[in-house]
Structure 1
């Protein structure tokens, strides 16, 4: 019961701060306050504005914001989000572009389940949707999933990926971003043994901890220092009575956010102070860089406790993927059984979350795959976010990934053939 109380206490603190922000903004914006010639009044209104917005975003799932899109044909097309497969802990969604021929590249973008929603990959989707059929794993907030839906650990996550790949068929190209990279590799190996005809054509792993010990970071050091008992005691709580998942054990999003913020506290503090000053000067807007970034960054989701704990224990501490000892539903997965799926790894030279060396370790595990089907790329000067959503992704990495997909699709590049050819 105390874990429910602490969960609801965090939500109460969040709600109170949101209310304080709204109150300060409303009070300082009252017309009579304009008669007080004191800049502190304007500062109070700005502080209230940014405080209300920040704490409100912490419990709201961001929108994809892809109402329409200009494609390679130069025309604007509406984008519809279609739920292809619906499961309790996550759906497979398709960004269906109206009025456009089906594109020959079919891409499954595996989003992280590491505290943020799949919308974190919004810019990645935007960059691919112009000439690809894009599917994304849209993971659900654990606080909204009833206890009756059962558990969800890394084995369940892997089996979800297996089902999604089987549904999309063997002409799919999979791109896994960050946290899901090791489990996506395991899912592909599982298919290679159980149902080889359902394997994707290619697999691109971006900034994922295949072998966390290959290049230690603050994240891996934390995983080694803390025992599983300490982690469970400090991080795990039960969803309070306000949400549908009442009683479910979770790693709360608000607790995750406090960890994220503390890693770069000085930088975040400066960003918010600068934004308050911009509001006071009338230089801020609803969709400026600060709001676009923090509206996404502050939107966090609860993770199922068993998923979080099994990730730390089996991926980081025991290194089951790195040692090729991972077991799914009683079946020992052998990554060496992947013999036909082309695999490419992408890393950023300045990635402080999954440092260079952690992801490329996957290639050494692929003992049954010819070297001609292996590739790797290290983007100089790129951090963790940049390798899948920043300028480095748009200008350098995306073209390399699409070229890798074309080389391993069994067809000529899309620009050289009718758009509806080779449709699954």
Structure 2
């Protein structure tokens, strides 16, 4: 019933939240003389802060319309190349009216970015995609909010995730593809490639695993500790709920996004409190650039989605409690996941020194499992001073991580 109570509370607050946003906008309008009265800036700032704390955050747009590639400004068109009930495969198609540039664009390596299904939308990787587009043809997994998926579409578990990754890789053509997985999907992506190798299928040219729980036993974090402290039955009983009737997915069991968001905030509550206080102070001082930066960040950070309950519970059990991948006991549809079967795919693992979600060594453990890949085709990067998000977004990603990723793709473009 928690989900239903959450929706009732949201419905009761919505009129007040909307009113706060409207009054704040009215007071900051240059045509409104009442906004220049003494004390009004504090009222306006307080109302906007209340509005932003209480409003619903919809999925943001990627908003990538152009990119600088091959020394020219190139248009980018976002298109869906494959649609499934729980995930769309998006393509960021680069276009040019210059024949020479178009020829270069067509010869760039193809990269599939596998976004995490862990609470946030794929748009969290906007900076990742925008940077990759300089030198690559980029696709990304765009996960659907589970509350929007009708119950008739069936369940979606961890095995289904693995099968979907195999389908996407085959659809794009493994013989020309480089795969980059960020955080949570490192496990199912490695499993998908392992199963493809065991079946004698063509595997991707390279595989990049970034900040993921390949072996959560190494340097466990708060996230890992929670999964091991609580019994599996606790997760079934306390964090899985049915979607209320006001959504297309009514009746579907999910791990709600608002619970995941609360968990994100609880990991660093003082940081978020300070950020909102600074936002309020910036509004009072008229520091509009800093205030807008706050809005941009939290528009993304606060936009969350529901996860299918089966997938969430499978992940808790298989990845964080049984450690089935590093122990070699994971079977998908009766077939054992054997990373040692991978031979033709190059492997790059990336970790952040200050990662508080996937600890140091958890991602690097993939090298211990992928023993069939020659040492000359394996590489590991530890990014000093980088947290979890810093390895795929922001200055460190663009200036430190990306040059090595680009070189790795180029180096292993040929078999």
The 1-side partners of 2:390 and 2:124 are apart by 12
Matched, 1:79 2:76: yes
Which of 168, 171, 180 is equivalent to 1:175?
180
What is the rounded CA distance, in whole Å, between the counterparts of 2:266 and 2:43 in structure 1? 25
List aligned pairs for 1:63-212, cutoff 5 A: 63-74=61-72, 76-99=73-96, 100=102, 101-169=105-173, 170-197=175-202, 199-212=203-216
1: CA distance, partners of 2:107 / 2:45: 46
Query: Partner of 1:216 in structure 2?
Result: 220
User: For each residue in 1:354-403, what CA deviation from the matched residue of structure 2 results, as whole angstroms up to 9, or x when unmatched?
Assistant: 11100000110112222122111111111111111122211111111111
SS of corresponding position for 1:78: strand
Measure the CA separation in 2 of the matches of 1:23 and 1:202: 50
- Mapped contact 1:238–1:247 kept (Cα < 8 A): yes
Q: Is the Cα contact below 8 Å between 2:163 and 2:192 reproduced in 1?
A: yes
Q: Secondary structure at the match of 2:380?
A: strand
Query: 1:85 & 1:405 partners in 2: Cα distance?
Result: 24
**Cα contact 1:275–1:284 (8 A) shared by 2:** no
2:241 equivalent among 216, 234, 237: 237
Query: Could you say what the CA RMSD is over the residues aligned between the two structures, in angstroms?
Result: 2.0
TM-score by length of 2: 0.92
Name structure 1 gaps, 5 residues minimum.
412-424
1:2-46 Cα distance to aligned partner (Å, 9 max, x none): 355235235436635633532652686695744853x2x322211
Note the C-alpha offset of 1:267: 1.1
Alignment of 1:5-44 (within 5 A): 5-9=4-8, 11-12=10-11, 15=14, 18-19=17-18, 21-22=20-21, 25=24, 31=32, 33-34=34-35, 36-37=37-38, 39=39, 41-44=40-43
> Partners in 1 of 2:188 and 2:292 — Cα distance?
36
Query: What is the match of residue 414 of structure 1?
Result: none
Partner secondary structure for residue 324 of structure 2: coil
> How far apart, CA to CA, are the structure 2 residues paired with 1:221 and 1:207?
17
- Offset at 1:72? 2.2
Question: Do structure 1's residue 48 and structure 2's residue 47 form an aligned pair?
Answer: yes
Identify which of 331, 352, 370 aligns with 1:366: 370
Change in Cα spacing, 1:123 to 1:287, as seen in structure 2 (3 Å) is farther
1:261 aligns to what? 265
Cα distance in 2 for partners of 1:150, 1:397 equals 39
3-state secondary structure, aligned to 2:138: strand
Distance in 2, Cα, partners of 1:89 & 1:163: 13
- Taking a change above 3 Å as real, the CA distance of residues 325 and 165 of structure 1, as seen in their structure-2 partners, is same
Distance change (3 Å), C-alpha of 1:13 and 1:267: farther
**How do 1:336-415 and structure 2 match up within 5 A?**
336-410=340-414
Using a 3 Å threshold, how does the CA distance of structure 1 residues 71 and 259 change in structure 2: closer, same or farther?
Answer: same
Distance in 2 separating the partners of 1:95 and 1:401: 19
The answer to whether structure 1 residue 320 and structure 2 residue 324 are counterparts is yes
- Per the alignment, residue 415 of structure 1 pairs with none
Retained in 2: the 8 A contact 1:103–1:131? no
Give, in whole Å, the separation in 2 of the partners of 1:341 and 1:350.
Answer: 28
Could you list the per-position Cα deviations for residues 156-177 of structure 1 after superposition, in whole angstroms to 9, with x for gaps in the alignment?
1111100000011121000110
* TM-score between both structures, scaled by the size of structure 1: 0.90
Structure 2 gap ranges (5+): 97-101
Distance in 2 between residues matched to 1:50 and 1:68, nearest whole Å: 33
| Cα shift readout 1:28-70 (whole Å, capped 9, x = no counterpart) | 6695744853x2x322211222332454352x01000112222
Please, which of 283, 303, 307 is the counterpart of residue 303 of structure 1? 307
- Per-residue displacement from partner, 1:109-133 (whole Å, max 9, x unpaired)? 1100110000000001111101100
Change (3 A) 1:217 1:44: same
Q: Provide the rounded CA distance (Å) in 1 between the counterparts of 2:25 and 2:386.
A: 42
Stretch deviating more after TM superposition (362-371 or 200-209): 362-371
1:230 Cα shift? 1.5
